[in-house]
Amino acid sequence: MKNIQALLEAMWVDYLELNPAARSIYQLFTERNNGAVINDHIALRTFNISKVCIDVIAQPFIQSGYVACGEYHFEEKKLFARHYQHENPALPKVFISELLIEKLSQAAQETIGGLIEQLDDAVVRQDNFCFSGRPWQLSYASYEQLLVESEYAAWMAAFGYRPNHFTVLVNELTFCSSLESVNQLLVEKGFALNQSGGVIKGTPAQLLEQSSTMANKSKVAFSDQDLEIPSCYYEFARRYSQADGTIYQGFIASSADKIFESTDSALATKA
Selection from 121, 1, 132 nearest residue 61 by Cα: 1
pLDDT at 2: 55
pTM: 0.94
d(CA 21, CA 15): 11
Residues β-bridged to residue 227 = 220
d(CA 233, CA 218): 11
Would you give the DSSP letter of residue 249? Answer: -
Judge residue 73's burial from the number of C-beta atoms within 10 Å of its C-beta, 0-12 exposed, 13-18 middle, 19 or more buried: exposed
pLDDT at 268: 47
pLDDT at 127: 86
Tell me the CATH class for 4-263. alpha beta
The CB-based long-range contact list for 75-84 (8 Å cut-off, 24+ gap) reads 76/257, 77/150, 77/152, 77/257, 77/260, 78/103, 78/104, 78/150, 78/152, 79/152, 79/260, 80/48, 80/54, 81/54, 81/251, 81/256, 82/54, 82/58, 83/41, 83/250, 83/251, 84/58
Judge residue 24's burial from the number of C-beta atoms within 10 Å of its C-beta, 0-12 exposed, 13-18 middle, 19 or more buried: middle
Selection from 219, 16, 39, 23 nearest residue 131 by Cα: 16
Q: How far is CA 120 from CA 177, 208, 225, 247, in A?
A: 47, 39, 25, 41
pLDDT at 271: 36
pLDDT at 267: 55
Judge residue 205's burial from the number of C-beta atoms within 10 Å of its C-beta, 0-12 exposed, 13-18 middle, 19 or more buried: exposed
Helices (H), 118-233: 121-124, 140-149, 151-159, 179-188
Selection from 1, 93, 111, 107 nearest residue 47 by Cα: 111
The one-digit pLDDT tens for each residue of the chain (271 residues) are 458 999 999 999 999 999 999 999 999 999 999 888 999 999 999 999 999 999 999 999 999 999 999 999 999 999 999 999 999 999 999 999 999 999 999 999 999 999 999 999 889 988 899 999 999 999 999 999 999 999 999 999 999 999 999 999 999 999 998 999 999 999 999 999 999 999 999 999 999 999 999 999 999 999 999 999 999 999 999 999 999 999 999 999 999 888 988 888 665 443 3
pLDDT at 11: 96
d(CA 58, CA 195): 30
